[in-house]
Amino acid sequence: MRWLLTAPLWVGALALLAAEPKTNSTSLMKTTNQLERATLGGGCFWCMEAVFERVPGVRAVTSGYAGGHVANPTYEQVCTGETGHAEVVQIEYDPARVSFEQLLELFWKAHDPTSLNRQGADVGTQYRSVIFYENERQKLAAEKSKADAARNFSRPIVTEIAPLKAFYPAEAYHQDYYRKNPNAAYCRMVIRPKLEKLERELPPGP
């Protein structure tokens, strides 16, 4: 059920939301010598997509599924909680403009990592908090970032850190959902307040 979301967002959020939304891709993203990618799950992928599309240095954000045992799952299958997949976003970014560590800092602020298998009224293992790493460097960075972020929460962080074995892009109607459906109930009641909250907490400009 996509309805209400609560998340502990604190003053000092990264100044990463000032850019215009990026257009995402519905295919597996190619890596180059200049571009890298991060795969993160923090509840509904519509929310996470809307947040990371606004980060300077992010080239594309694709909503999809990862962490399960069913190949090419459908949204309906994932919603049952029986495929093992989480709703995730795969972020293609320019490391010269934004680092993996900076993306993780925003990740902790964009959802509640202390809530097990749920975000607000979205309940199920498909909504779990998770970082999927692609190499040892990302794994170590994720573990350090999680330990650092734990100081900002009164409850233990339950975020899973796991290797990325496969990523399956979600159906086309899930891509750029907030941009295409700004007046949908979930966008008005959940995503828009989340974005406004993050933007209000940005430090003042020069």
Cα distances (angstroms) measured from residue 60 to each of 55, 83, 112, 147, 190 = 10, 26, 24, 28, 22
Q: What total number of domains does the chain contain? A: 1
CATH code for the domain in which residue 168 is found: 3.30.1060.10
Distance CA 79, CA 70 (A): 13
> Is residue 79 among the annotated active site residues?
no
**Is 13 inside any structural domain?**
no
Domain residues for the domain of 139 are 36-200
Eight-class DSSP state of 29: P
The residue annotated as part of the active site, out of 44, 47, 79, 187, is: 44
Residue closest to 111 by CA, chosen among 100, 127, 92, 134: 127
**Is 144 inside any structural domain?**
yes
**Is 106 inside any structural domain?**
yes
Q: What is the pLDDT of residues 53-87, one digit of tens each?
A: 999 999 999 999 999 999 999 999 999 999 999 99
pTM of the model: 0.83
Q: What is the pLDDT of residues 93-125, one digit of tens each?
A: 999 999 999 999 999 999 999 999 999 989 999
